[in-house]
């Protein structure tokens, strides 16, 4: 089981998959045991119900959903934040992972 579970949420769950692989490489380089996965906004509730998520990050295209997700996870004490648009556009997995580590 992964030490930290990081869930990325985007419109379709596709554009974020490349970012996931870059974040996994950055985690491996840091010696961090992390499960990082991406889902579409419509699948997020099912994953939150079935997994112990440590951090939830929203892609810039679904930033408007932040307050909805904060309400959904308020009782689980899961930090919710938006992926920096520049880091997302550049697919900078290391910077996104570093941001995650500040949230945990």
Catalytic residue among 10, 26, 57, 97: 10
Task: Check residue 36 and report its DSSP letter.
Answer: E
- Count of CB atoms situated within 10 Å of the CB of 63: 12
Decide if 24 is catalytic: no
Sheet holding 4-10, edge to edge: 34-40, 4-10, 55-58, 80-82
Instruction: State the catalytic residues.
Output: 10
């Amino acid at each position: 089981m992964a030490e930290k579970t990081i869930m990325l949420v985007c419109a379709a769950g596709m554009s974020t998959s490349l970012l996931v692989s870059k974040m996994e490489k950055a985690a491996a380089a840091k010696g961090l045991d992390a499960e990082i996965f991406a889902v579409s906004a419509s699948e997020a509730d099912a994953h939150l119900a079935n997994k112990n998520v440590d951090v939830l990050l929203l892609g810039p295209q679904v930033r408007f959903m932040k307050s909805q997700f904060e309400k959904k996870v308020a009782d689980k004490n899961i930090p919710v934040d938006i992926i920096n648009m520049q880091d997302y556009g550049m697919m900078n997995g290391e910077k996104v992972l570093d941001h995650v580590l500040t949230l945990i």
